[in-house]
A and B are shown apart, each in its own frame.
Chain A
């Protein structure tokens, strides 16, 4: 163990001295994480839009939509609602990007509802697809509630009941109230890391491969420069030499991810979650990255070749693993494939931790998969490295 620590210390000293590890493992990912979180609109994490409503009807059913239903959205902080005068002005407002969508209530809307005739609300969408979808969802739900009220009134009449002002008033109140059944999107709740957290974590897991590679690259460098025979001739077991290099990779990986964790938390208000659990997840991710880097290095003959190969593997796994685009927007098949990458499991763990109620049990699958990947792939790599040293 002493020899391994001596070797790890020497590798760390060399890497810090040439600054390559600092640039690849800390400066670059931190810069990219900050840039991504500042440049990309934060639409996914704290959605807010505005609607313009043109009420050409003015009846009480229309008012339920404008005041009660849309009012609830305003109260929730999801949207602002402006009142438009004409359809053309509303359309222009949407085109100009001043409103995310326009909701047009035609004249005779209330009368049509009250007489059981078809009625229509028009929605105009602009370049923000999410705003259009939100407007459509709100109005669709209102239409369903109105339909339910109409059905209640029709049923009352058909069964010989009296449809009087009280009955109609009750139906209108029912429409204005929140639905009796609340559908909670558990997936959305689970994956609620904000953009700063997502890109901080994504850059961390992508660039940790560049940090952990320095351990195995040191072994290749020792072989190339001629220092390996002297290491092997020393009273040190070959396994200690490899273990020492792995320790250096582990240390660099931990430093890289920890710096990103702290920096994004301090500077862009990323929220990675409970520190002890984040630390566990980071350790597991570094083990996985180290295992893959070690195996990749054994496929190369020179440090330069290994560095190139490692970069290809790191970027490919990052692309598949959802580092560049959140997997919530990827096709289902892509999500399946992404599960072969450590990136998927790490980001899944981080997203899970973003829910304040998450505990160790929630991220345990991610930790187990990451550590398993690291041990299996790293084990194969270490065996290959040992054989190559003293073949």
Chain B
């Protein structure tokens, strides 16, 4: 699946004019000219506080991930951000316009791809797209042309007149995304779009999100898959129990953990001599020799790796395999909450 979507001249200009945001690992990061700004969102269901003061902003062209386990408050947060749900407190501004449940102008800038398939099974793809397009005020030849475009984008042109109840799961997911893109939104909100999707369709969806971001669309992406957040998101907000407990780029979040990378060399030869030499390299924090090779703790494994391999070879060590284990967002989440993402 390849993705091309045209932005209007305003959006393109805004996207080009705004430099990439430079967030930090604190919730106070505020990209300028944000396409979405959420401040202190709160929502309770009965006595249960589902969202407790969530704030974040997304710049045009930025992909922001809300990463957290099931039940962390991701869907409730985006429901308030999209005006689907009344909030108890807080403020949402979309493309410069305040948003509430009844705000039609702000909502027109949002394309929502809900976690559940939000398409009508007894209508075909074209009818689904036409219905939602009309809700966004589209019509006539403009709508027909745009439907053709998005069907092409999600590779469903050939099946456009088939009822969607006869589609495969992946096709339904693609149409679900197509509906969200139909009206050329400035902000695309994807709520766990890859849940229950086969690997091939999942990869196609991730590729399309990358393409949309590259074209200047602001993207809010919720997931509990750490790999997706790491691949797609410029910044990530880690959410747990209704709060964003950390926010920043992947590197910034990993830095919060303060850990080193682990480089494991499966090797033979004069391992102790090599260990001494490797321990002297700047950035190497420690070297352990074991029966099968060497384990090194380093800062910046990717940067140091060529030098490490060269030094080991110079000392007569024969290397059969290399494994680099870097701290990831899973480790960050574990570090911050004491539990795994998939708990």
A interface residues (Cβ-Cβ under 8 A, vs B): 2-3, 6-7, 10, 13-14, 17-18, 225-227, 229-238, 390-391
Contacts and interface: CB of A to CB of B under 8 A. Distances in A.
A235 B114 contact: no
8 closest A-B pairs by beta carbon, nearest first, are A226-B116, A235-B104, A230-B118, A233-B112, A234-B135, A235-B108, A235-B107, A232-B84
Interface in B64-109: 79, 82-86, 101-102, 104-105, 107-108
A234 B122 contact: no
Interface of B: 79, 82-86, 101-102, 104-105, 107-108, 110, 112, 114-123, 127, 131-132, 134-137, 179, 189
Contacts of B121: 225
B101 A227 contact: no
A390 B101 contact: yes
B164 to A, nearest CB: 11
Nearest to A391: B86
Given A18-B122, A235-B105, A390-B101, A229 B135 contact: no
A226 B135 contact: no
A3 B135 CA distance: 6
A230 B179 contact: yes
A233 B107 contact: yes
Nearest to A15: B122
Contacts of A2: 134, 137
B135 to A, nearest CB: 4
Chain B at the A interface: SS class: loop
Contacts of A237: 102, 104
A365 B119 CA distance: 45
Contacts of B131: 6, 10
Nearest to A227: B118
Contacts of B120: 10, 14, 225, 227
A236 B134 CA distance: 11
Contacts of A7: 135
Nearest to A18: B122
A230 B122 contact: no
B116 A6 contact: no
Contact of B104 (A14, A230, A236, A391): A236
Nearest to A10: B131
A17 B179 contact: no
Contacts of B105: 235
A98 B250 CA distance: 99
A230 B108 contact: no
Nearest to B84: A232
Of residues B118, B122, B127, which shows the largest number of chain A Cβ atoms within 10 Å of its Cβ?
B118
A230 B116 CA distance: 10
A238 B102 contact: yes
A17 to B, nearest CB: 6
A3 B112 CA distance: 18
A232 B118 CA distance: 11
Nearest to A238: B101
Nearest to B189: A233
Please indicate which of the listed interface residues A2, A232, A391 has the most CB atoms of chain B within 10 Å of its own CB: A232
A232 B135 contact: no
Contacts of B134: 2-3, 6
Contact of B122 (A17, A232, A390): A17
B162 to A, nearest CB: 14
25 contacts: A3-B134, A6-B135, A10-B120, A10-B123, A13-B127, A225-B117, A225-B121, A226-B116, A226-B118, A229-B112, A229-B116, A230-B118, A230-B132, A232-B82, A232-B83, A233-B84, A233-B114, A233-B189, A234-B135, A235-B107, A235-B136, A235-B137, A238-B101, A390-B101, A391-B85
Contact of B135 (A225, A236, A391): A236
Contacts of B83: 232-233
Contacts of B127: 13
A234 B110 CA distance: 8
Contacts of A390: 84-86, 101
A235 B122 contact: no
Given A10-B131, A235-B135, A390-B101, A230 B114 contact: yes
A13 B101 CA distance: 27
A14 B165 CA distance: 13
A150 B79 CA distance: 94
A390 B132 CA distance: 19
Contacts of A234: 107, 132, 135-136
B189 to A, nearest CB: 8
B22 to A, nearest CB: 30
A304 B83 CA distance: 28
A18 B118 CA distance: 19
